[in-house]
């Protein structure tokens, strides 16, 4: 058995560095500020633990050799942690390496009643409770922001709010009705999340202030993000799509509505592990209602897809390509008009328990009836 005192002394004597993050942790941890070039020397360095030779291995089992730079020996974090039976993890939001147990993260709870308070409260490890009312992001001063993770991006007719590398943020309406968050520019998404993790929206209504049909921006846009939870919320048009997602994983959409959007309910590419449950997608005048490209494990369960209408010829109610694990189980397609819907050209979709009533599809529909 390894002596714990020796363990503490040994680990404290090692210099752990993000330079080895890709091989050691199995994820990229090189941050932009790390631009210095270093020269390294590999000299067949061996590690012995209590007299026994131990060969460091990376996350995928590959051999990782320690090296020397400027007289300092560098050893991979994950390899050493594994030797001593400790888990290792990397938190890209706080730029932290955790060996063993993580420190408890304190979440700050803030109650807001206007858009200025909402904007000031935005950030990581926040639970923001919104009192009833309308929060117009376009009413904010939208100049230079010293907060590098929350900033404005210029669009054709206004600015779009960007949340970049935000971690563990909850926005929750606390009234009987959802708190409403809106923007005015036609080309701006209501919220854009980039490299964000653990984002939760509860009892929130979001969309644009202008008339339906005038938008070029969507409602919620997720790029390279994960662990998204949307519940008891409404995403509406004017807005091209309720949800736009790219390279995003583990999104949950429960007991919520997407309605009256101008291009469709949602579009996603290079995404995985999305679940939509007990939700409604309705009254969208769309080109393609649900777009799924190069994605996997996208599941709709007990959802209603109703009263949507195609406004462009050869429009599909489901546009699915290069994807797998797509399911519509126990769902209802009803009263949708003028879409193309040919089950035979939709690859490997599971429609178990799903019903189709009152639809007028342009295209064959064969579900064994």
What b/e readout covers 346-364, taking b as 16+ CB neighbours within 10 angstroms? beebebeebebeebebeee
Q: Are 276 and 233 in contact, with CB atoms under 8 Å apart?
A: no
69-99 confidence digits (pLDDT tens): 777 777 777 666 666 666 666 666 556 776 7
Provide the pLDDT for residue 60.
Answer: 60
Reported pTM: 0.74
Provide the pLDDT for residue 21.
Answer: 41
Provide the pLDDT for residue 95.
Answer: 61
Q: How far apart are CA 82 and CA 61, in angstroms?
A: 12
Provide the pLDDT for residue 161.
Answer: 95
Q: How far apart are CA 343 and CA 364, in angstroms?
A: 7
Q: How far apart are CA 192 and CA 220, in angstroms?
A: 6
Provide the pLDDT for residue 27.
Answer: 41
* Residue ranges in the chain whose pLDDT is less than 70: 1-36, 57-61, 78-95, 98, 100-104, 144, 212-214, 342-347, 362-369
Torsion, Cα of 33, 34, 37, 41 (10° steps): 170
Q: Are 73 and 45 in contact, with CB atoms under 8 Å apart?
A: yes
Provide the pLDDT for residue 362.
Answer: 66
Phi-psi group of 174: left, alpha or beta (phi > 0 → left; psi -120 to 50 → alpha; rest → beta) = alpha
Q: How far apart are CA 179 and CA 155, in angstroms?
A: 25
Provide the pLDDT for residue 175.
Answer: 93
């Amino acid at each position: 058995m390894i002596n714990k005192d020796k363990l503490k002394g040994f680990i404290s004597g090692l210099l752990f560095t993000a330079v080895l993050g890709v091989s050691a942790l199995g994820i990229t941890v090189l941050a932009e500020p790390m631009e210095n070039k270093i020269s390294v020397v590999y000299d067949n360095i061996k590690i012995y633990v209590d007299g026994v030779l131990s060969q460091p291995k990376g996350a995928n089992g590959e051999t990782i050799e320690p090296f020397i730079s400027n007289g300092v020996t560098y050893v991979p974090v994950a390899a050493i942690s594994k030797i001593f039976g400790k888990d290792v993890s990397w938190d890209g939001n706080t730029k932290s390496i955790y060996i063993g147990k993580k420190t408890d993260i304190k979440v700050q709870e803030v109650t807001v009643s206007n858009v200025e308070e909402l904007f000031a409260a935005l950030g990581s490890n926040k639970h923001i409770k919104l009192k009833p009312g309308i929060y117009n992001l376009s009413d904010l001063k939208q100049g230079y922001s010293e907060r590098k993770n929350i900033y404005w991006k210029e669009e054709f007719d206004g600015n779009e709010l960007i949340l970049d590398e935000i971690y563990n943020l909850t926005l929750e309406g606390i009234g009987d009705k959802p708190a409403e968050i809106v923007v005015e520019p036609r080309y701006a998404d209501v919220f854009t999340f980039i490299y964000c993790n653990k984002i939760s929206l509860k009892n929130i209504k979001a969309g644009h202030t202008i008339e339906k049909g005038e938008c070029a921006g969507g409602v919620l846009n997720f790029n390279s993000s994960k662990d998204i939870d949307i519940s008891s919320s409404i995403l509406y048009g004017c807005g091209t799509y309720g949800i736009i997602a790219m390279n995003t994983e583990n999104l949950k959409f429960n007991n919520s509505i997407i309605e009256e959007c101008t291009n469709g309910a949602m579009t996603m590419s290079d995404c995985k592990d999305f679940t939509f449950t007990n939700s409604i997608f309705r009254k969208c005048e769309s080109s393609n209602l649900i777009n799924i490209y190069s994605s996997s494990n996208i599941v709709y369960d007990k959802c209603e897809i109703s009263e949507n209408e195609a406004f462009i010829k050869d429009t599909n109610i489901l546009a699915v390509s290069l994807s797998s694990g797509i399911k519509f189980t126990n769902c209802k397609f009803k009263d949708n008009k003028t879409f193309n819907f040919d089950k035979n050209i939709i690859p490997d979709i599971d429609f178990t328990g799903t019903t189709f009533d009152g639809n007028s599809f342009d295209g064959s529909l064969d579900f064994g009836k």
